[in-house]
Amino acid sequence: MRLFSHTFSAADILCNSLDSPNHRILRTWQICYLGGKMNPNDQYFQQQQPGYGAPPLGQNYGGMMAPPARTPVMPNQPQQFPPANGPHNMNPYGQPSPRPPMDQSYGHSPLPPQGANPHQLAQQMGGMSLADNSLKSPIPTMYPPMNGNVSPAPGSFPPRPPMASNLQASPMPPQTLTPGMALPRPGLMPPMQQMGLASPQQQYQNGPGMENMGHAVNGQQFTSPRPPMGGGFPAGQPGGFPGHPPMPFQQPPMQQQQPPQQQQGGYDSMGSRYPSSPSYPPGMSGPIPGPNSQPMPPQQQARRLDPDQMPSAIQVMEDDKRSRSGPFATSQKGLVPPLVTTPFVTQDQGNSGPRFVRSSMYSVPALPDMMKQTAVPFGLVISPFAQLEEGEQPPPVVDMGELGPVRCGRCKAYMCPFMQFIDGGRRFQCPFCKATSEVPSEYFQHLDHTGMRMDKYQRPELCLGSYEFVGTKDYCRNNVFPKPPAYIFVLDVSYNNVKSGLVHLLCQNIKSILQNLPRESVGGQKGGARVGFITYSKEVHFYNIKSSLAQPQMMVVGDVDDMFMPLLDGFLCDPVESENIIDQLMVQIPAMFADSRETETILGPAIKAGLEALKAAECVGKLLVFHSSLPIAEAPGRLKSRDERKLLGTEKEKTVLSPQTTFYNQLGQECAGFGCRVDLFVANNAFVDLATIGQVARLTGGQVYKYTYFQADLDGERLVEDVRRNVEQTVAFDSIMRVRTSTGVRPVDFYGHFFMSNTTDVETAGIDSDQAMTIEIKHDDKLTDEDGVYIQVAVLFTSPGGQRRLRIHNLALSVCNQMADLYRSCDLDTVMNLLMKQSVTKLTESSPKQIKDGLINRSAQILACYRKNCASPSSPGQLILPECMKLLPLYINCLLNCDALSGGSDMSIDDRTFNMFAVQTMHVGASLAYLYPRLVPIVDAATAAGAPEQEDQQLLLLPSPVRCTVDKLRDDGVYCLDNGIHMFLWIGLSVSPEWIHGVFNTNSAAQIDIDRTKLLELDNQRSQEVRSVIGQLRSTRQRHMRLTLVRPRDKLEFVFRKFLVEDKHGDASSSYVDFLCHLHKEIRNLLN
Ligand SMILES: [Zn+2]
């Protein structure tokens, strides 16, 4: 049915409308001509109907009539307006700030009185004191400001002696040592060594300074988890250091021949041995006293556990970077990849690279019982369209023509390097279901003397882990080849979005955003996505942007109860062809709605309008919805306010974290069913019920972005960068993913943003390269070593150019009979990704306490099982951690305290929900940064003191992260902290005035305007370098992070400190040290 062309007459319309089966059309549309000589604003208001009922028949609909003047709706909802002081008092959580954020409580302590001094506040909030060490924090505090070396707080360990001068020639940055820390051995020790823990007995025997040198790589004391193993690295290394006495449980010296660098993958099977947790000395308030049944030397009892000796995430990352940077060839089954933080270049030699698929373990126990006993989760994190690094080859596209991809006749697995050709090449056996299938005659090839096909290295599907097939018609909806996907911008033009500057900003930037649309050449034709524009507040406006028009046209659908598409031709257009019309429209939209007083908005019908537009155009695509407020206008999907923030953190929080109605779930399913992805960009300044409206993004594979108290001047860059990346990154539309595994294991649970209409197919309307899906694998049958575990991920999708393709990823894992092999082949970062997504998913079912207890129990079980079955016998007072999992206690503690899982009433419900949505699509690199933020020193003492420019530059270009604890902050330093969502620049108060002047153009740190979200663009080297470092740090993350400036004692320092994840924050959380002690106690309980 052709409804409208670009010329209209009342007769036309009446006629067409009557043709329509939907007679409501008669009273629901209105037409406006835009631009031209008429004031578009007047036009708009003149041509609106004051109500939404049917105008009398026979009235002139053609846009030339003069309806009754529209009475502007005056805002009658004061809470919908930004509070006068809103944006400036906003904290990065964007919590409403009628009072300054300082007054918000962290944890569950009662609100302190307004105007309390920071020190009192600190105490009331259970945080750290800013000035007083008598607070008895287990972590030595930094204050009062120190010169140069970090000196410990009174009551903690003795001052650290300066490093021996003969070591200063080594490439180590300035470092201080504590008694009990090992002295690095020149040449062997890496820079920035973090020392491990020696057993107290050992420390006692050896005296301070030289003990604890068990492992040359990471300075930790290792014991073999089982009797001597080939390839293992010995503990203790007697003789490694002259005069070093042998340790109990050490391995025979013969084993120390092998340097750690030669171990495969740098992962060994050794456990790290830690001392029993010593008691806190009198006066220290260790919240969870360490278990200490072992008689300890008195010296040990008097000492507290040194946080610097706990396993360090920074150290683990540095070690891996050192040993595993560079090429990573995927030829071997079950090869453990480098950590996500290590720069590596995948060489696809038959298995997919770890950027596409990561497993939580690379050696799977043969028996399900063994797996169950260890409690180590088995799962995959799949980013099927992950961005590649320089030097990595994108998966090649294989076109099999009419034949289509060759598949197993039984389980339908796709041809891959794991298929075995038999019978002279006439048949192949499938590793997933064991069935043999006939090779199609077109695909036949002879085998060589080793049984390989002669064309193995000519065909990507026979020699690579990742590749694509071109889909035949059978792989298309209704057996019709798809059109290129479309992008529809759906813009809320109600008061809030206009007032904040969002409408204006977005329209101003659309042109440059559209230049980032993916364009792809398919079959010699340059395919490009088409674009369309919808605006809405209480009704929905469609725009005709056909290139042949002189000016854009607007259609208004006022009856939002039953949304339909009034415009078939000219809504979706090629952005290049319609460039001029789009330019005009982008000038007219902000002008038209500049005086909007509409505060009541709809949302459901606006999304439905986009969906109808795609349906009408018979193409898939995505909606970018820019929404501002709770949809309270009378329309489908209307919501009520339920901002009961006080429920967060309580047993009842699941009621506000779950949707209040199923409307947006149903809408999401409907969109998903049609291949319409919805991305929500929420710029709210009041409760918007993200938990409900976000469902539509979740079910369609979309992302949720949030800009609380959006102000164009402060957040504009962030919004535009996010939109640009979103548009650029979406690479696969209308996708269905299926994961096939060999027998004995099977995928059971799926986490991410998608919709599943059955138990195996993961459907998304669009996946981007930043998104990952996490899958838990169940092990329910015996495996054999010769078989291994085979995994094939197949994603059927429509490319931006409109080609139907399949992307295939293959991964083979080993099978082991020894439990120690499992612990040796774990990828803890992937384990944490899975645990995080599982925990966050459970939040809408269980209480947070149950979830947290479950996490603690599970980690205790993992470590206790290792201790019991893999470590050599030792005193129960010792904590022994498997090498690959030595950061498990740290990361579990980070998970227990992270915003997504633990955000309490200090956050808004929407921010909490936002975090939960964000977590669900994270790949392993993102989830790691979210759990353990990156803290990078931007300036250290040397540069602050005015060191030569050259050295300055070196430090700035290569900042290595430091541990996330207040201990690492120096008052004369500047640090950048980010977790992928928030970014802070912490500026010490003793930073050199030259540096401050160079970067902030003020004379002291105190004068810096911390409300800025951007650094000044000053024309000097320091300023350029700092901006460059911030830019580099930002470029590694998926979202453009707003920069929050913070100085010691600033109101926002509390928020910043919450991200120093090794420290204690509030009564409800534990520091890393405390948690390790607590976990040790749990492990001992399990072992007894
Ligand atoms: Zn099969």
Q: For residue 523, what pLDDT is reported?
A: 62
**Helix, strand, coil fractions of the chain, as percent rounded to 5:** 30, 15, 50
Distance 434 CA to ligand 1 centre (A): 6
The model's pLDDT over 136-155, given as tens digits with 9 standing for 90+, comes to 333 322 222 333 333 333 33
Question: Can you read off the two tokens belonging to residue 1067?
Answer: 């009564």
Sign of CA dihedral 252, 255, 259, 263: negative
DSSP state of 547: T
- Please provide the distance, in angstroms rounded to a whole number, between the alpha carbons at the two ends of the chain: 77
Distance 821 CA to ligand 1 centre (A): 28
Q: For residue 542, what pLDDT is reported?
A: 96
Distance 437 CA to ligand 1 centre (A): 8
Q: For residue 482, what pLDDT is reported?
A: 93
Distance 413 CA to ligand 1 centre (A): 5
Q: Would you call the peptide bond into 882 cis, given omega within 30 degrees of 0 as the criterion?
A: no
Distance 752 CA to ligand 1 centre (A): 27
Query: CB neighbours of 263 closer than 8 A, spacing ≥ 6?
Result: 231, 233
Around ion ligand 1, residues with a beta carbon closer than 5 Å are 408, 410-411, 413, 430, 432-433
Q: For residue 284, what pLDDT is reported?
A: 32
Distance 219 CA to ligand 1 centre (A): 48
Q: Are strands 379-382 and 879-882 parallel, antiparallel or unpaired?
A: unpaired
CA distance 708 to 686: 8
Q: For residue 578, what pLDDT is reported?
A: 94
Which string of DSSP letters, residue by residue, matches 832-886?
A: HHHHHHHHHHHTTTS-HHHHHHHHHHHHHHHHHHHHHHTSPP--TTSEEEEGGGT
Q: For residue 454, what pLDDT is reported?
A: 95
Q: For residue 878, what pLDDT is reported?
A: 86
Distance 220 CA to ligand 1 centre (A): 46
| Residue type present at position 865 | C
Q: For residue 522, what pLDDT is reported?
A: 67
pTM of the predicted protein model = 0.76
Contact status, residue 499 vs residue 595, Cβ threshold 8 Å: no
Q: For residue 66, what pLDDT is reported?
A: 34
Q: Is 614 helix (H, G, I), strand (E, B) or coil?
A: helix
Per the listing, tokens 């140069």 go with 148
Distance 419 CA to ligand 1 centre (A): 9
Sign of CA dihedral 1071, 1073, 1074, 1075: positive
DSSP state of 305: P
| Residue type present at position 187 | G
Residue spans of the chain under pLDDT 50: 1-270, 275-303, 941-942, 944-956
Closest CA to 833 of 918, 964, 934, 923: 923
DSSP state of 711: -
CA distance 990 to 974: 10
Q: For residue 434, what pLDDT is reported?
A: 93
Distance 428 CA to ligand 1 centre (A): 10
Question: Can you read off the two tokens belonging to residue 1028?
Answer: 């460059």
Distance 418 CA to ligand 1 centre (A): 11
Q: For residue 215, what pLDDT is reported?
A: 28
Question: Can you read off the two tokens belonging to residue 378?
Answer: 């088995």
Half-sphere exposure of residue 313, counting CA atoms within 13 Å on the CB side? 28
